[in-house]
Amino acid sequence: MLIIENLTHVYGNGVRALDDINLTVPKGMYGLLGPNGAGKSTLMRTIATLQSPTAGHVRFGDIDVLKDPETLRRTLGYLPQDFGVYPRVSAYDMLDHMAVLKGLSNSRERKETVEALLNQTNLWNVRKKALAGFSGGMRQRFGIAQALIGDPSLIIVDEPTAGLDPEERNRFLNLLAEIGENVVVILSTHIVEDVSDLCPAMAIICDGRIVKQGAPTELVAALKGRVWIKTIDKTELEAVRKRHQVISTRLFAGRTVVHVLSDNDPGEGFTLAPGGLEDVYFSALSDTRRAA
C-alpha cells in the first residue's frame, strides 16, 4: 500500500504544483485523473523519487520513500509521459541493456527475463526491429516491458494511452489490467475512459489538490439525479451558462449537447441524464473552479 500525507511542492517560480495531497493507494489499478497542468506528473515524479517535495511524507509498505529513495527504486517500475529510447537499437538489445542497468548481471537469468517480458507485452515477433520503427502503441508496450524488469511491486504509468489509436489503446489497457492484479499500479491520465475501464479506485486532481476520491461506481452513484442534459443551438450556449452550472458540452450532429449540474429540475426542457464517470470528473472540476 502506498500512503501519501500532506504532500506539497512549490517550484522556484512560486507555482504550487501540489497542495497538501493525501492519498491511500491499495494494491491493484488506481486511477489519477486530471486535466493537463493539474499536477499529475509532478506527483508521479515525486513518488518515483525523481524530485523532492517541499513538504510531506510518502510511504510504500515499510519504505520511507523520501528518506530512502534507493530502496524504493529497487521495487519501482516507471513509465514516464515522455519515454525516450535509442531509436536505432533493437527492442531485444535495448531491453537487455536496461536489465543490466537494473542489476540483472547473470546472463542466463537476464535472457529469460528479457524473453519473458517481450512475450508478455506481445513484442516477441518484433524483438529484432529497431525501436525507431515501432508504432506508438508498440513503443508504449516496450515502455511497460522495461518498467516490469525486476518484478516491481509499485508501477507508475503517466499518460500512457495519449495518442494511441483505439486498437493499440485496448491492447495496452488489457496489458495493464493483467499487471495490476498483483501489484500497485498508478495510472495517471486525463482520459476518463482509461480510468473507467480499469480502475476500482481513483482520485481526481485539479490545481494541485485532490478534489474527489473513491470508487468510480460510488462516485457515479453519488451524482445520481443531479446531472441534466439538453441539446441546444450553439447560439444559446452563453445564455444557458448564465442561468445554470454547465459542467460539459459536446457537439452532436452539428448541435450542442450540454450537461448541467442541479439538485432540482432546471426546467427549460432539460431531462435527467443517466450520469457517468465523465460527469463526475467535469462536475468536480466545475465545483473547484467556481470555488476558486
Query: Which domain CATH number covers 79?
Result: 3.40.50.300
Whether residue 235 sits in one domain with residue 209 = no
Whether residue 211 sits in one domain with residue 236 = no
Whether residue 231 sits in one domain with residue 210 = no
> Distances in Å between the alpha carbon of 175 and those of 15, 137, 170, 171, 266?
36, 11, 9, 6, 43
Instruction: Give the residue numbers spanning the domain of 258.
Output: 225-274
Residue 282 covered by a domain: no
Euclidean distance between CA atoms 186 and 155, whole angstroms = 6
pLDDT tens-digit readout, 256-268 = 999 999 999 999 9
Euclidean distance between CA atoms 81 and 20, whole angstroms = 23
Residue 292 covered by a domain: no
- Give the pLDDT score at 101: 86
Whether residue 205 sits in one domain with residue 71 = yes
State the pLDDT confidence band at 174, using cuts at 50, 70 and 90.
Answer: confident
- Give the pLDDT score at 85: 67
Euclidean distance between CA atoms 167 and 184, whole angstroms = 25
Number of domains into which the chain is organized: 2
Whether residue 267 sits in one domain with residue 164 = no
Mean pLDDT of 228-244: 93
- Give the pLDDT score at 81: 77
Residue 280 covered by a domain: no
Backbone angles phi, psi at 256, to 5 degrees: -100, 125
Residue 184 covered by a domain: yes
State yes or no: pLDDT of 100 exceeds 80: yes
Question: What pTM does this model have?
Answer: 0.89
Whether residue 19 sits in one domain with residue 146 = yes
- Give the pLDDT score at 19: 95
Residue 192 covered by a domain: yes
Burial of 274 (0-12, 13-18, 19+ CB in 10 A): exposed
State yes or no: pLDDT of 199 exceeds 90: yes
- Give the pLDDT score at 75: 92
State the pLDDT confidence band at 292, using cuts at 50, 70 and 90.
Answer: low
Q: Identify whether the C-beta of residue 7 lies closer than 8 Å to the C-beta of residue 44.
A: no
Comparing 81-95, 189-203, 270-284, the range with the smallest average pLDDT is 81-95
Residue 281 covered by a domain: no
State yes or no: pLDDT of 106 exceeds 70: yes
Whether residue 236 sits in one domain with residue 209 = no
Q: Nine-digit cell at 250?
A: 459536446
Whether residue 232 sits in one domain with residue 163 = no
Give the Cβ contact number of residue 251 at 10 Å.
9
Residue 196 covered by a domain: yes
Element (H, E) at 45: helix 40-47
Whether residue 182 sits in one domain with residue 269 = no
Whether residue 262 sits in one domain with residue 162 = no
Residue 199 covered by a domain: yes
Euclidean distance between CA atoms 153 and 158, whole angstroms = 17
Whether residue 90 sits in one domain with residue 164 = yes
User: What is the chain's mean pLDDT, rounded?
Assistant: 91
Whether residue 122 sits in one domain with residue 75 = yes
